[in-house]
Structure 1
Amino acid sequence: MSRLLIVHHTVSPVTHELFDQVLKGATTDEIEDVEVVTEPALGATAADLLAADGLIMGTTANIGYMSGALKHFLDTVYYPCLAETRRLPYGLYVHGDNDTTGAVRAVESIAASLGWERAAKPVTVTGRPGKADLEACWDLGATVAAGL
């Protein structure tokens, strides 16, 4: 059985709403033999990542960057997981009030330096999420999970 790790920073109702949709997509009945594990970004560890076959990260965009919580996770796992997680498929969703560009760029830069492979286009949401945003989050979860 494959394992999908979802590391998230859900401090607002909007980011929680996006997380819920990602989780629903990843756990849809059509996807078999994938265990989905969720961890808050401040609690996720290198051991969690090393046990995973795929990863989805969720963050807010804060002052043009990813959340400090997600950055802490990436700092924590970088060296312990550098060699062992090459080619790890990953996905990303980001919520910001007005711009998500810097947060996406930062996460993708770190993921590239770890040798991870983007499994789906990042989902970026500014302001209140609409129906299409929520569907994109569902699709992100389903796509990454199904790819395992």
Structure 2
Amino acid sequence: MKNILLIAHAPSENTRTMAQAVVRGCQHPGISGIQCQWLSPFDTDAEAVKQCHGIILGTTENLGYMSGALKDFFDRIYYPCLEACQGKPAALYIRAGHDGTGTQRAVDTICTGLKWNFVLPTTLCRGPWQSDFSSQCETLGTTFAAGLEAGIF
């Protein structure tokens, strides 16, 4: 059994809907041998990161940057995971009220330092809430889980 760890800051109903969609995608009926656990960045520690087979990160755009919750997560796990988690497959989705590019750049920079391997393009959900954001996140989860199951990632 392979484990996907979804580390998502979800302070609103809409962002919770997005995280739930990622989990639903990871649990697609056509995919077996994959488990997905969703944790808040505040509830995630280095051991959880070391034990999983792949990571999906979810964040809001806050003042052109990632959420403080995700930044706190990175601050706590960076050095304990630096050597142990190199090459770990990862994906990212961003709920951006504006353009999301600063948020994406900040997460990319930290994950590059960790030597995590982004295996899918960032899912960037920009502007006012759209119901399509949920389906984009579900597709992200399904694609990530299928790739992990097949050994592509």
Q: TM-score, normalised by structure 1?
A: 0.95
Q: TM-score, normalised by structure 2?
A: 0.92
Does the CA-based 8 Å contact 1:7-1:56 persist in structure 2? Answer: yes
Runs (4+) of structure 1 moved beyond 4 Å?
none
**Larger proportion of strand:** 1
Counterparts of 1:12 and 1:28, CA distance in 2? 24
Counterparts of 2:14 and 2:123, CA distance in 1? 14
Alignment partner, residue 60 of structure 1: 60
One-letter amino acid of the counterpart of residue 56, structure 1: I
Does the CA-based 8 Å contact 2:86-2:114 persist in structure 1? Answer: yes
Q: How much does 1:52 deviate? A: 0.5
Alignment partner, residue 83 of structure 1: 83
Q: How much does 1:144 deviate? A: 1.3
Counterparts of 1:147 and 1:57, CA distance in 2? 16
One-letter amino acid of the counterpart of residue 115, structure 1: K
The gaps in structure 1 that reach 5 residues or longer are: none
Does the CA-based 8 Å contact 1:9-1:60 persist in structure 2? Answer: yes
One-letter amino acid of the counterpart of residue 130, structure 1: S
Counterparts of 2:38 and 2:131, CA distance in 1? 24
Structure 2 SS opposite 1:65: coil
Could you list the per-position Cα deviations for residues 14-38 of structure 1 after superposition, in whole angstroms to 9, with x for gaps in the alignment?
2112111111101111111111111
Q: How much does 1:73 deviate? A: 0.7
CA RMSD of aligned residues (A): 1.0
Counterparts of 1:36 and 1:16, CA distance in 2? 15
Alignment partner, residue 40 of structure 1: 40
Does the CA-based 8 Å contact 1:18-1:137 persist in structure 2? Answer: yes
The gaps in structure 2 that reach 5 residues or longer are: 149-153
Alignment partner, residue 137 of structure 1: 137
Q: How much does 1:134 deviate? A: 2.3
Does the CA-based 8 Å contact 2:41-2:72 persist in structure 1? Answer: yes
Does the CA-based 8 Å contact 1:55-1:89 persist in structure 2? Answer: yes
